[in-house]
Structure 1
Amino acid sequence: MQSQLALKHLRQQEQELAVLRERQRIARDLHDAVSQTLFSAGLMLDKLIARGGHDSFTEQTLLRLTDLSRSATAEMRTILYELRPDALANADLADLLTNLADIVSARTQAAVETRLDSLTLPDDAQIAVYRIAQEAINNLIKHANPSSVLIELVNASDAVTLTIADDGAGFDPAHSGAGRFGLANMIERAERVGAALHIDSEPGQGTVIRLRLESVWEMA
């Protein structure tokens, strides 16, 4: 019986390793092919814009294509992080949030301001903070229609604080339900790592989402 369980466990480990290797291969292929192609396309667009002499329509089209290229590049980075969780856990959190800011800039008309301290958190905390930020960003892109967005990460001696604020449509948290806008997932992720999540929003008054994670280094 024990030998059968051991064999089953070994086969499961082999399957998981095979899946991990395949994900890593796909990530390498995407980086080497698609990411490099997008980077080259972005450089070409920048050169065309810098040359000038375009009529208004062409100029606006080139600028829009540049935004789309940057958005696709940022989205590709996000996909690569999904394929390689180790890269997500080991990355500078400021870089991860900058990537999300690039997506907001490319997919909305909002002016995006970032104030980001450089740091890498313990794995569970790092992934939780990133996922909460990702959910908040997805919500404001889909629902808020903001003209300005602030993404701030402060690494103080007593806590790490993430703030995502926008001046968009807002909503009433009391009547939205935890399941709407992914709030339930955000709350669950925060609780899982002992963080405090505060959501301040009113219809027509924008939204401020603040995540405070204390004593984070004790989790390492």
Structure 2
Amino acid sequence: MSNIANTGRCVPEQDLGKDEQYRLLFEANPTPMWVHDQETLEFLAVNDAALRLYGYSRQEFLALKLEQLRPPPALSALLEPVGTTGQEQAEPSTFLRHCKKDGALMDLELVISSVTFQGRGAWLALAHDVTERRFAEEVLRLAREQLEVRVQARTADLAALNEALVESQDRFRQMAENIRDVFWLANPSMTSIIYVSPAFQEIWGRPCDELYSNPRCWHEAIHAEDRPRQRQIFRKPIPSEGYQCAYRVVRPDGSTRWVLDRGFPVRDHAGRFYRLAGIARDVTESKELEKEVLAISEQEQRRIGQDLHDHLCQQIVGIEFLSKALQQQLGTQPQAGQAGEIAAAARVAIEQGRLLARGLIPIDVEAGGLMRGLQSLAAQMTGLFRIHCSFQCPTAVAIHDVTIGTSLYRIAQEAVNNGIKHGKASQIEIRLSSTGEGAELAVKDNGVGFSGQKGNSRGLGLRSMRYRADLIGASFGIQSEPERGTLVLCRVALPQTHDKSPSPTITSQPPREAVLLSSPPDPRR
């Protein structure tokens, strides 16, 4: 036994069945072991570890023969590595499948050595249960075969893991270099660019080497009015779901391109944020198309509002006058009261038509139009829904860009409507204020609020507000908690202008007695 080595050879110097020292080592060994006769394959001895592994009692195990531990079809395979009479040694180790007492199969690695037991030639077997390891190896083998099938069109020979890694890198580079979007990889603070695809040169108009040597040129190329929004992203931790930001890029030749930039945090095995990956897409054409569609939509709404005010309302005014004249002519006759009711209903219809017309023509095309439009919106909501809707503008905010002004008005209009319809709010405050680089619109209500998950939903109202904010390059956010109301916040950078003429500060409070029109129309329609 002392000569049992890794080679599996054994020179039988001691009789394992008679030497007490070796017998104790055999019995106490935590590795399953047994001794079986070289000729009859009968078991001569077994230790406790083997009994626990197979589930037999000692008496049951010793009554078995070696072939009874194997599935019957594999008996011939068993005898080959074990050998036959006259062999002095077997293979150092072999993999076999055995059956437990309960019928469960297990894979074993057997290390077999020739020994002398009670004067008889025998084999000493050490069994290692490798069932889980063989299962993992089989799964790995199947996965490796599937991987080889997927990449066989690209490679003729995948002999090593290193070649597979090179192939994966080549495929990634081919994809990144042939897509029109810019794929980039950087450190979390964007102070070091690890990789950027060649599309960067096409969109930014600058060579990739310039970005590698000076990562700040990415931020410096962003339009001055859009830099604050992009800078705010890196002033706080990047969320796990990443970020999305639209901004303009100014090329060296002075041309401007709209870019939709999406970034995602990449974490290491320990969960640490150590890379920032992203895709930047040129959305200039879609931005221009969206702007044209929105402008056409606003023009059509203005036309409809003007027609509603100038034609339909005027015709109803005529009906009101005729009804009043008829009421006077009828005098005390019973039909006079009905004519008066017609005149009153016409007056209500006139007021409703004018409110609808104001909603379709929200602001005047001038610097103070947004302030007056929001003030009128607060008054309309108070009159329509009998709620406390106020407008606050501590300092004058002059917005000369009609697209920005109209978009902010529509965002406020949608936020107020959502607060009334979904939030069941009784108090709403619309606030327009000036920031160092632009304007901030805030709409706060005391409604029922909602959870953050609902705030990220794709409802039509929220999508409309986000769309309009994105169209003018504004940041947009919603803060809400159940039973604690909702705050809609939109910040936009304003174009520089030389017009320094002051506009009046506007602060409005709803009237104490608001007139509620009968059957008020839903402003969201």
Tell me by how many angstroms 1:123 deviates. 2.2
The residue that corresponds to 1:107 in the other structure is 384
> Per the alignment, do residues 108 and 198 of structure 1 end up closer, same or farther by CA in structure 2, a change over 3 Å counting?
same
Q: Give, in whole Å, the separation in 2 of the partners of 1:165 and 1:191.
A: 21
Q: Give, in whole Å, the separation in 1 of the partners of 2:478 and 2:408.
A: 15
> Per the alignment, do residues 141 and 163 of structure 1 end up closer, same or farther by CA in structure 2, a change over 3 Å counting?
same
> Per the alignment, do residues 107 and 24 of structure 1 end up closer, same or farther by CA in structure 2, a change over 3 Å counting?
closer
Letter in structure 1 aligned against 2:370: L
The residue that corresponds to 2:408 in the other structure is 129
Cα contact 1:163–1:210 (8 A) shared by 2: yes
Of 85, 92, 97, the match for 2:374: 97
Tell me by how many angstroms 1:25 deviates. 8.8
2:451 matches 1:172: yes
Tell me by how many angstroms 1:134 deviates. 1.6
> Per the alignment, do residues 94 and 26 of structure 1 end up closer, same or farther by CA in structure 2, a change over 3 Å counting?
closer
Of 440, 458, 463, the match for 1:161: 440
Secondary structure of 1:135's counterpart equals helix
| Deviations 1:51-84, CA, capped at 9 Å, x for gaps | xxxxxxxxxxxxxxx99986654322113x17xx
Q: Give, in whole Å, the separation in 2 of the partners of 1:24 and 1:74.
A: 15
The residue that corresponds to 1:62 in the other structure is none
The residue that corresponds to 2:486 in the other structure is 207
Cα contact 1:196–1:212 (8 A) shared by 2: yes
2:472 matches 1:193: yes
The residue that corresponds to 2:495 in the other structure is 217
Secondary structure of 1:182's counterpart equals helix
Secondary structure of 1:171's counterpart equals coil
Bigger shift: 101-110 or 201-210? 101-110
The residue that corresponds to 1:16 in the other structure is none
Tell me by how many angstroms 1:127 deviates. 2.0
Tell me by how many angstroms 1:153 deviates. 0.6
Secondary structure of 2:422's counterpart equals helix
Cα contact 1:114–1:151 (8 A) shared by 2: yes
> Per the alignment, do residues 26 and 206 of structure 1 end up closer, same or farther by CA in structure 2, a change over 3 Å counting?
closer
Between the two proteins, the alignment pairs up a number of residues equal to 168
> Per the alignment, do residues 197 and 68 of structure 1 end up closer, same or farther by CA in structure 2, a change over 3 Å counting?
farther
| Deviations 1:101-153, CA, capped at 9 Å, x for gaps | 12220232321221123533312211221121121122112112212111111
- Structure scoring higher RCO (CA < 8 A, sep ≥ 6) equals 1
Q: Give, in whole Å, the separation in 2 of the partners of 1:211 and 1:125.
A: 11
Tell me by how many angstroms 1:24 deviates. 4.7
| Deviations 1:18-47, CA, capped at 9 Å, x for gaps | xx79x759715624762795xx9xxxxxxx
Q: Give, in whole Å, the separation in 2 of the partners of 1:197 and 1:100.
A: 21
The residue that corresponds to 1:74 in the other structure is 355
Bigger shift: 171-180 or 127-136? 171-180
Secondary structure of 1:217's counterpart equals coil
Q: Give, in whole Å, the separation in 2 of the partners of 1:173 and 1:67.
A: 41
Percent identity, aligned pairs only, is 24
The residue that corresponds to 2:175 in the other structure is none
Tell me by how many angstroms 1:181 deviates. 5.5
Q: Give, in whole Å, the separation in 2 of the partners of 1:195 and 1:153.
A: 14
Matched ranges for 1:8-157 at <5 A: 24=303, 27=306, 30-31=309-310, 34=313, 37=317, 73-79=354-360, 81=361, 88-90=364-366, 92-116=369-393, 117-157=396-436
Secondary structure of 1:186's counterpart equals helix
Letter in structure 2 aligned against 1:154: S
Larger fraction in helix: 1
Letter in structure 2 aligned against 1:93: L
Letter in structure 2 aligned against 1:27: Q
Q: Give, in whole Å, the separation in 2 of the partners of 1:147 and 1:212.
A: 25
Letter in structure 2 aligned against 1:217: P
Q: Give, in whole Å, the separation in 1 of the partners of 2:428 and 2:348.
A: 17
The residue that corresponds to 1:54 in the other structure is none
> Per the alignment, do residues 153 and 68 of structure 1 end up closer, same or farther by CA in structure 2, a change over 3 Å counting?
farther
Q: Give, in whole Å, the separation in 1 of the partners of 2:386 and 2:359.
A: 21
Cα contact 1:68–1:106 (8 A) shared by 2: no
Q: Give, in whole Å, the separation in 2 of the partners of 1:129 and 1:182.
A: 14
Cα contact 1:71–1:103 (8 A) shared by 2: no
